[in-house]
Amino acid sequence: MDAYERITRNAAEVVTEEEIEALADDPDGKRAYVGYEPSGVLHIGHMLTANKLIDLQEAGFEVTVLLADVHAYLNDKGSFEDIRHTAERMRDQFIAYGLDESNTQFVLGSDFQLDDDYTLDLHSLELETTLARAERAMAEITSGDSVKVSQAVYPLMQALDIPYLGVDIAVGGMEQRKVHMLARDVLPSIDREPPTSLHTPLIADLGTGRGKMSSSEGVTISMEDSREDIESKVNDAYCPPTADPEPTDDGEARENPVLQVFEYHVFPRFDAVVVERPEEYGGDLKYETYDALESDLESGELHPADAKGALAEYLDRLIAPGREQLAE
């Protein structure tokens, strides 16, 4: 797998293809970043973008992880003292999950976002951006009927973080796409380069296959989960014998979240997946690619219950180091 293939595998979108190709041709010294609000414990959403950071490290990139304490404060997530303590915990979990510590820089937002130059550049972006344009980018952080001024500033800060961190690729889930497009629109107004961006897919709710898996709603998986917790959640997961489930009676689209977790979490981290089965049911199955596993599920060779058993095993292997770190 060459650098371009590793950078773009399992990406829902890259902006733009030409920019990514140029970076892949010469990754030495290039830097990618993801920003996270410190939220306590890594969950499967954090892990998805962390997998992409690991891909980028293996392709030759350096990585910056922004632990966005100021953003969390603006989003009413607690006091600075509490948020910074949470950020330290998350840093250790990312290393336990598999990021190369020697090639990962962890930065607190407050390390640079309170400086005079940053503040003045932020005010310049505020002068260039209509409230309607900011509102389109801030949909992921608003809650309730009342929008606070801090929530309008939040996406402009996300845009400004990119040049201040000196990164070449901004990585995020598809929910970050609007922010990255805002950055491409507004940064040239302050003589900053528009960012290249890479977006990871959204995984459907584990229990229903609908919408987006969320740590605040529905069922998710985190580093706090025991082996038994993981097995229980995966065993209860929505997993029809197809990668293309029928929509709900109300016409709402559905995905197969078990297959999605295999594709975006397990296969990027393991060379092969072994599904253990008794000899009376055909014995073990070994898969070196996600496509082969999906094909066997579609054909009936692989039963959903056996797929779930294997998924719980490999998820536990990924999560165990972080779980142990939390226990310490």
What span, in angstroms and rounded, lies between the C-alpha atoms of 45 and 197?
18
- In degrees, rounded to 5, the angle at the alpha carbon of residue 130 between the alpha carbons of residues 125 and 133 is 100
215 is in an annotated binding site: yes
161 is in an annotated binding site: yes
216 is in an annotated binding site: no
Q: Which of 293, 303, 244 is nearest to 265 (CA)?
A: 293
Contact 206, 233 (CB under 8 A): yes
Residue whose structure tokens are 């995020």: 172
Q: Which of 268, 273, 304 is nearest to 286 (CA)?
A: 273
99 residue type, one letter: L
In sequence order, which ranges of the chain are alpha helices (DSSP H)?
3-8, 17-25, 44-58, 69-74, 80-97, 116-128, 131-137, 149-165, 177-186, 227-235, 257-261, 290-299, 304-327
- 177-186 helix and 149-165 helix, angle to the nearest 10 degrees: 70
176 is in an annotated binding site: yes
Q: Which residues are annotated as a binding site?
A: 33, 154, 158, 161, 176, 215
Q: Which residues are annotated as a binding site for L-tyrosine?
A: 33, 154, 158, 161, 176
Q: Which residues are annotated as a binding site for ATP?
A: 215
